[in-house]
Amino acid sequence: MQQEDVIILGGGVTGLAAGMTSGWPVLEAQEAPGGICSTYYLHPDGRRGTSQFDGAYRFEYGGGHWIFGATGPVLTALQQLCPLQQHERHSSVFFPEEQKLIPYPIQNHLRYFSPRVAQRILSEVQENVFSASTMDEWCQHHFGQILTDLFFTPFHERYTAGLHTKIAPQDSYKSPVDIALMHTGAQANTQAVGYNTQFLYPRDGLNVLIGAMADRCDIHLSKHVGEIDVHRKILCCNDGSSYRYHTLFSTLPLNQMLRMIGLETQAREDPYTSVLVLNIAAERGPRCPKEHWLYIPESKAGFYRVGFYSNVEPTFLPTSVRNTHVSLYVERAYRGGLRPTEKEKQQYSDAVIAELQQWGFIQKTHIVDATWVETAYTWSWPNSGWREEALALLQSHDIHQIGRYGRWKFQGIAESIREGIECRIQKPSCVDSRVAQGKMRGAHR
C-alpha cells in the first residue's frame, strides 16, 4: 500500500492544475488526461488516435471548449504552457422556420424583429431586482412574456431537459439585463456583452494544453477509484492498487463522491443534466453559418446548441478539405440518470443529420460520432442547502471538493485552472516548498 499525504482525484483541467503546481499525485480513471476537455482524432474510415494523423478530423469529447475569463496568473500560466489564439465571440440564436439568425444575446438585438414586436418586448422588460423562485419566473419577469415565449422558454426546455420551471435561477450573467442597451439594440448595433465576448483557444489544439499540463504532473492514468474508507483513510482502485492518505482534493462530481463514500445529506440532492454530443464532419452546406455556435430554441430532434469547430479554428479539419467541409458538434440534454439506449441514439443521430441537411448547414456526412457526458450541467432546487451541506460533510472527512463538478457550480476552463492552482494554499503544510516551487517553474517554461 502506497502512502501519500495528499492525493488529487481526477485528471481534468482542475486536477491537472492542482497537480502541476503542488507536486501531489493525480489519479485519473481514464487512459488519457483531460476529462470532458479531452481531444481525439477520427478518420472517416474509422481509425482513431490521440494525436494528428493524415486525413483525420479533430474533435473534443464534450463538444467545443473555449477558454474565457483568463487573466492574471492563470493567463500567464496558459501562455507559457502553449501558444494561444484569441477570438471575438460570434454567436447567434437561430430560428429555423424563418431561417433567421439573431446575434446573441437576443435581447440586445431587437432590431431583427419588426418595430411593432420590438416595442411590445421593450414595454414588458424589467431591470429591477426580483426574488424569483425558478429560472422560468426570472426570465418572464426580466424579459417579459413575448421574448420568453419566443426564445427563453423553448430554449431552456431543451437546455435544462425540462427543469427550468423547477430549478432556482442561476448564471444570470449569461443573459445580462440592460434596458438602455435593449432600447439601443432595437434601432442599431450594440457592443458585445456577456462573460465570453472574447475567448482563447490553443493554436495547435486543446490536447496540446492538456498534454503540457499532464507532463508537469505526477499523474497516474487508468486509476479508477472503487472504494474510499474515510475512517481508515484508505483509497482502493479497481486495478488492485491502494493508497493510504491524509487529505483528498477531489474533482469528482459532488453527488458521485457522496455515493462512493456512503455519506448522506439531510437536504434533497440537487439535480443535474447529462449531454449527448454528436461530433460531425460533413461537406459544408449552402447555408452553413459563419458563427462559432448557435442557440437553437426550435429543433425537431431536440438539440439546443450547434457549435462549429472549424469556424473557430480551421485546424480541426484535415488540410485537404478546409475549403469544402465543416466540423461541428450538436448538444442534447437529458435529465441526470436518464441515458438513451443505443437504438434511441441512432434514431436521434439520424434525425439530427436530416434536420441539419434540411437547414442547409451540411450536405453529405463523413463522420458522425457520439460521446456522452454524464454530469454536464449542475443545477439547484429553490432555497436548496444541499451543496453547502455536502461540501461541509466531505470536508469534515478531509475531502476538499474543487472544480466545476466537484463544487457543483458552472465555471469555465480558466476558473477551473485558477481553482486548481489555489488549492495547494488550503494545505501548505503538506507540500515541500522546494518541490512546489520547482513544479511552478516547470509550468511556466
Q: How far apart are CA 172 and CA 251, in angstroms?
A: 25
User: Does one domain contain both 178 and 225?
Assistant: no
Is residue 154 a part of any domain in this protein? yes
Q: For residues 319 and 170, which has the higher predicted lDDT (pLDDT)? A: 319
Total structural domains within the chain? 2
Kindly report the number of other CB atoms within 10 A of residue 280's CB atom.
Answer: 26
User: Does one domain contain both 115 and 167?
Assistant: yes
Is residue 65 a part of any domain in this protein? no
**pLDDT band at residue 427 under the 50/70/90 scheme:** low
E strand residue ranges, 32-76: 39-42, 48-49, 57-60
| Contact criterion met (CB below 8 Å) for 329 and 367 | no
**pLDDT band at residue 172 under the 50/70/90 scheme:** confident
**Which of 63, 86, 3, 57 lies closest to 367, judged by CA?**
57
User: Does one domain contain both 113 and 166?
Assistant: yes
Is residue 148 a part of any domain in this protein? yes
User: Does one domain contain both 222 and 180?
Assistant: no
Is residue 257 a part of any domain in this protein? yes
Q: How far apart are CA 97 and CA 151, in angstroms?
A: 13
Is residue 242 a part of any domain in this protein? yes
| Structural domain range at position 246 | 2-33+217-263+383-443
Q: What is the mean pLDDT of residues 253-272?
A: 95
Per residue in 48-76, pLDDT (tens digit) is 998 889 999 999 999 999 999 999 999 99
- pLDDT beyond 60 at 440: no
Q: How far apart are CA 373 and CA 397, in angstroms?
A: 28
End-to-end Cα distance, the chain: 34
Phi and psi based region of residue 140 (left: phi greater than 0; alpha: psi -120 to 50; beta: remaining): alpha
Is residue 418 a part of any domain in this protein? yes
Among 185, 202, 234, the domain-final residue is: 185
Q: What is the mean pLDDT of residues 37-46?
A: 94
Whole-model pTM: value is 0.91
pLDDT at 171: 79
| Contact criterion met (CB below 8 Å) for 329 and 311 | no
At 358, phi and psi to the nearest 5?
-60, -35
User: Does one domain contain both 115 and 155?
Assistant: yes
**pLDDT band at residue 132 under the 50/70/90 scheme:** confident
At 110, phi and psi to the nearest 5?
-70, -10
User: Does one domain contain both 167 and 24?
Assistant: no
**pLDDT band at residue 425 under the 50/70/90 scheme:** low
Q: What is the mean pLDDT of residues 243-265?
A: 95
Q: Which residue pairs, CB below 8 angstroms and at least 24 apart, start in 318-325?
A: 318/54, 318/55, 318/56, 318/57, 320/55, 324/283, 324/284, 325/281, 325/282, 325/283, 325/284, 325/366
Q: How far apart are CA 91 and CA 289, in angstroms?
A: 10
User: Does one domain contain both 116 and 177?
Assistant: yes
| Contact criterion met (CB below 8 Å) for 180 and 123 | no
User: Does one domain contain both 25 and 169?
Assistant: no
User: Does one domain contain both 22 and 164?
Assistant: no
**Which of 145, 104, 100, 139 lies closest to 298, judged by CA?**
100
| Contact criterion met (CB below 8 Å) for 282 and 363 | yes
CATH code for position 432:
3.50.50.60
- What percentage of the chain carries pLDDT values higher than 70? 95
pLDDT at 291: 97
Q: What is the mean pLDDT of residues 426-438?
A: 42
Is residue 201 a part of any domain in this protein? no
Q: What is the mean pLDDT of residues 398-402?
A: 96
Is residue 98 a part of any domain in this protein? no
In this structure, of 32-36, 103-107, 126-130, 235-239, the range with the lowest mean pLDDT score is: 126-130
**Which of 279, 268, 290, 287 lies closest to 367, judged by CA?**
279
DSSP, residue by residue, 205-248: -HHHHHHHHHHTSEEE-S--EEEEETTTTEEEETTS-EEE-SEE
Per residue in 80-90, pLDDT (tens digit) is 999 999 999 99
User: Does one domain contain both 111 and 176?
Assistant: yes
- pLDDT beyond 50 at 442: no
